[in-house]
């Protein structure tokens, strides 16, 4: 999906594996950006599932963040889980890949 929407991400939309979030400050600007994203998806013969689409949301929880009209911030529901996560005590817990060479 990143390669399909290359050039639009960061300015018109956020992209995850199969999620696309468009954002704008005004309805007119949002319609323009949404049209650009939909045109790009159509160019690559990609289809959306209408039952999974949501429009005109003022707040979206997206990969651990809240996207609102005021900007993007970490999802406050994730804070307690992060704060209570145990401190690693040995290297393998850090999930570091070691090269034997």
Q: What is the pLDDT of residue 11?
A: 85
Q: What is the pLDDT of residue 16?
A: 83
Q: Are 14 and 67 in contact (CB under 8 A)?
A: yes
CA atoms of 86 and 66, how far apart (whole Å): 25
Domain boundaries, the chain: 13-75
Mean of pLDDT over the chain: 84
Q: Are 20 and 13 in contact (CB under 8 A)?
A: yes
């Amino acid at each position: 999906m990143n390669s399909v929407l290359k050039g639009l991400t960061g300015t018109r939309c956020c992209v995850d594996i199969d999620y696309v979030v468009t954002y704008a400050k005004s309805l007119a600007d949002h319609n323009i950006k949404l049209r650009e994203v939909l045109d790009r998806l159509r160019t690559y013969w990609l289809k959306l599932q209408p039952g999974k689409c949501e429009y005109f949301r003022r707040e979206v929880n997206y990969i651990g963040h809240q996207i609102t009209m005021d900007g993007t911030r970490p999802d406050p529901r994730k804070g307690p889980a992060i704060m209570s996560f145990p401190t690693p005590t040995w290297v393998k817990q850090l999930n570091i890949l070691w090269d034997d060479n």
